[in-house]
Structure 1
């Protein structure tokens, strides 16, 4: 199996998981709960990175992470296009960007899996419970400590790869030249994702400060939500949410 076909196989497996979770959420009446969880998480991310969002050099990359990885958007169209990548990735996209697509698909599948389980516990709680406490308690009940750290590791790897690849001028030119072929193949959403990522990271001369902040801040939140008592974790989360 070639590296491209391996990438396509892994992407397909991750997206199959996402599709299955969507069907389960719909059947179990979890769609609204999942949306509420995602909204709170996106609000927390915006609050945690207000300094980077306010900085012209780092704002594009911060928005890229928020919208593409931590956002509350409906990614069905992008997922459908990724699902067709098996027959097109080797023909249309340079091998150097294939791992980015794999990373995105894995992050997406991990996020949806964790959000689905968190939403299940969210729905089981009294709706009158303050959102921050409801989230902290749902996080504890979900568990999956290793998966949280894996999610962060894949995001950081994606960022490091974007930083490395944006320095390859010929690759960026090749990516822009693929716009029409990608659109003709029905892969425009994937093309846009790649271009937005490249453009966002190209704005930064060095992404190390940005990626280091993500690692430190997200690890701190993972530790807080797992290790602090639920009431204290909720209090810290509420204070963070009020910054937006």
Structure 2
């Protein structure tokens, strides 16, 4: 458990470092914010069918808000950092593993967003600007890991929702979690549990996410953003809003 807590703290520290870096450069902050806003539009574009589906709407919105949205999670992260030792006392090990994966994804995504923000020439960001920044940022291995972590978190939540006793226990932990300063974490876990449980099985949803994200990633890496008019360039732009 100590190693898990240490890992969570390291990831949160990496996120805070990105925030401090941006706070010292208003231009970078504005461009990162524009990148995040565009990425939320991109997710809504890529998964418009799932967001409109009665079965998948809730979990797609959960991904959009909690994993792809431009929200500032500084308050939540600060709560986590202060009370990480309490996590090992309040939450089961498999829940902690999910939280660790979330923290790892958070740190990686913030690092990639900073890289994208540094690469964009202006805000707001459009498809051509996003493609050029993606090419300039690179880091294909990190992009692949980002997709893998996203799917892993979904798989973990899907497995956890099958344990009814754990769901009841999670509800009973609202008061002690609030007292320990873990309200944001509690809210995230309950929202994840509820949306995944309501979906009735996440395998097809997660398969779709993995397939579409990898397809988009490969398409964006397969073309030279400087070269206009190529088939590969058009295909990459065609997957962006």
Interval of TM-score (by shorter of Structure 1 and Structure 2): over 0.9
Segments of 5+ residues of structure 2 without an aligned counterpart are none
Distance 1:59 1:141 in 2: 34
* Equivalent residue, structure 2, for 1:26: 23
Segments of 5+ residues of structure 1 without an aligned counterpart are none
TM-score (norm 1): 0.92
Distance 1:22 1:129 in 2: 20
The Cα shift of 1:84 comes to 2.4
* Equivalent residue, structure 2, for 1:73: 71
Describe the shift of the 1:129–1:164 C-alpha distance in structure 2 as closer, same or farther (beyond 3 A): closer
Contact kept, 8 Å, 2:135 with 2:224, in 1: the verdict is no
What is the SS of the residue equivalent to 1:203?
helix
* Equivalent residue, structure 2, for 1:207: 202
* Equivalent residue, structure 2, for 1:216: 211
Distance 2:52 2:62 in 1: 14
| Aligned 1:24-63 pairs, distance under 5 A | 24-29=21-26, 30-63=28-61
| Aligned 1:6-155 pairs, distance under 5 A | 6-29=3-26, 30-122=28-120, 125=121, 127=122, 131-155=126-150
| Aligned 1:185-200 pairs, distance under 5 A | 185-200=180-195
Describe the shift of the 1:66–1:56 C-alpha distance in structure 2 as closer, same or farther (beyond 3 A): same
The Cα shift of 1:133 comes to 1.2
| Aligned 1:163-182 pairs, distance under 5 A | 163-182=158-177
The Cα shift of 1:228 comes to 2.2
**Residue by residue, what CA displacement relative to the aligned partner does 1:190-221 show, whole Å, maximum 9, x if unpaired?**
00000000111001222111000000000011
Distance 2:123 2:109 in 1: 26
The Cα shift of 1:8 comes to 1.2
The Cα shift of 1:134 comes to 1.2
Distance 1:196 1:165 in 2: 13
Q: Cα RMSD over matched residues? A: 1.7
Contact kept, 8 Å, 1:8 with 1:85, in 2: the verdict is no
Moved more, 229-238 or 216-225: 229-238
Contact kept, 8 Å, 1:34 with 1:115, in 2: the verdict is yes
TM-score (norm 2): 0.93
What is the SS of the residue equivalent to 1:88?
helix
Tell me the number of residue pairs that the alignment of Structure 1 and Structure 2 aligns. 236
Distance 1:128 1:200 in 2: 34
Distance 1:128 1:106 in 2: 28
Contact kept, 8 Å, 2:219 with 2:236, in 1: the verdict is no
Distance 1:146 1:135 in 2: 19
